[in-house]
């Protein structure tokens, strides 16, 4: 298991200072070319687009390959909201024996488990006697291409 790094200095460090980019009204086609335009629709603040609850939202950097089946790769940055309820089927950040991991929370044979989407990793069963804590729910992902 590899650790996740919590990026607290990025997470809402400048709440008062808005950093925006221009959102163009043109929608680039992923197929055949379409005539574009140079009209700016509005300014877009990525915080407004990606973050619902600023006070409970953090960014974490992924380390490892256990979630590649969910298209979460090494060095991706996850947006994690600690105020959201973790339900079966959601991707979560969990503390497992003091180590942070990213997994999908699923119900297996009537028991909750933290499941990787890479078949090389076994599920981690969640029960009351284990040292496992759901830290937050993944709500988005940021990646450079």
Residues annotated as catalytic are 66, 103
> What is the tens place of the pLDDT at every residue in 67-94?
999 999 999 999 999 999 999 999 999 9
**H or E stretch at 49:** helix 46-50
- The predicted pLDDT at position 15 comes to 43
- Is 131 or 107 the better-scoring residue by pLDDT? 107
Give the fold, CATH level 3, of 52-142: Umud Fragment, subunit A (2.10.109)
CA torsion through residues 117, 134, 97, 130, sign: negative
Both tokens of residue 90? 């959601």
pTM, entire model: 0.72
C-alpha 64/C-alpha 75 separation (Å) is 8
Residue range 111-135: average pLDDT?
88
The domain segmentation of the chain, as residue ranges, is: 20-50, 52-142
Q: Predicted confidence band at 7 (pLDDT cuts at 50, 70, 90)?
A: very low
């Amino acid at each position: 298991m590899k650790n996740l790094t919590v990026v607290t200095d990025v997470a809402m460090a400048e709440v008062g200072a808005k950093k925006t980019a221009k959102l163009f009204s043109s929608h680039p086609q992923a197929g055949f070319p379409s005539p574009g335009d140079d009209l700016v629709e509005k300014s877009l603040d990525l915080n407004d687009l990606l973050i619902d609850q600023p006070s409970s939202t953090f960014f974490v950097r992924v380390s490892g390959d256990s979630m590649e089946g969910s298209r979460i790769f090494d060095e991706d940055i996850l947006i994690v909201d600690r105020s959201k309820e973790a339900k079966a089927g959601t991707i979560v950040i969990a503390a497992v024996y003091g180590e942070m991991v990213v997994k999908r929370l699923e119900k297996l044979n009537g028991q909750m488990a933290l499941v990787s989407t890479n078949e090389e990793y076994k599920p981690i069963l969640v029960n009351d006697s284990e040292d496992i804590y759901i830290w937050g729910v993944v709500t988005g992902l940021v990646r450079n291409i």
